[in-house]
Structure 1
């Protein structure tokens, strides 16, 4: 287990590469959570150091302090990743851990408080300390690729919400089919068959749509 480190204000500022005056300013703007108090001494920890490095990285990417404050509030009130990814639920999806600046780099200029809140509401993103966790590497890669193609992230998220409702309905159809002829224990073994059916039908539907497009 890693021993938790704590820092006085001067040491924290030095490690973060900023001045004590800047650190006080960030604290006054509520960009940092309160330090631990021991009498008149304020003690900061690695959580504060990570937040300061994130602020510096986001400022370099053109984010304003007001925008960073809104993002920080969203991170602090985000759902814990344990609520999104059940430890006892088998999944084929690979979660991805990201720092806030890595997320900003993935979606250059599109990581707004509104989009962040929408992604958290959908359950795509959760928080784990100073890290953000995306529940699916495949969804992360696809959504960032769509944004690079010029599709606004807000529209990608709206489409994702619609796809979610259809996917839930398809999963329900397959689960009902299996449970009529097999048992709940057979669902994990038959899951790849359900995915193949959905992928094939989606491919055929895209073919039909492309043929119908003038």
Structure 2
């Protein structure tokens, strides 16, 4: 049976169309589980081969090793689709009453309150949000107080979070979740799911960046004379 196949590291690299050095690097970086060591030889199974093929597909699609490791670790923990995608599950509270009751200006999160209390607030903010910190720094340079700059950035973040919460679950369900649910959920299906999740996240991120850029362009065009 295929589930009983075993490979030495050389055989695994050859079957997976990669190199022994790559297999060792993936193991050292935490992407590939340890082999079953008997005597002085490590033996790899079908799960290792499937994981290695998944890593190769994700690398070919532009993902970095750190991102792949986080994705695979989330899957190994048994996280649900929302956790793996980095999208918090939200209760179904979209009734008109709850929608209108949402506060338009969110309270500053704990990490921002700590940043404001630090000797250098902008540097404290940068540790958790480097790009948001760049925006906040620019706003401070433009004359806003640190608190006002942080508040403006956080309102922007809240709107982005709301847009992601509204659309991400449906987008990722169609691109990754639905095919997996309809599959036999075998080893190959799991690998396909991991790949589809990564692709869906990458494509959605790129589309979002493009849409934000287009929206910003509409607000930054020079006035006609």
| Same fold flag (TM > 0.5) | no
- Work out which structure has the larger RCO, using CA pairs closer than 8 Å and 6 or more positions apart in sequence: 2
TM-score, length of structure 1 as denominator length: 0.42
Higher helix content, 1 or 2: 2
**Given the two structures, how large is their TM-score scaled by the length of structure 2?**
0.40
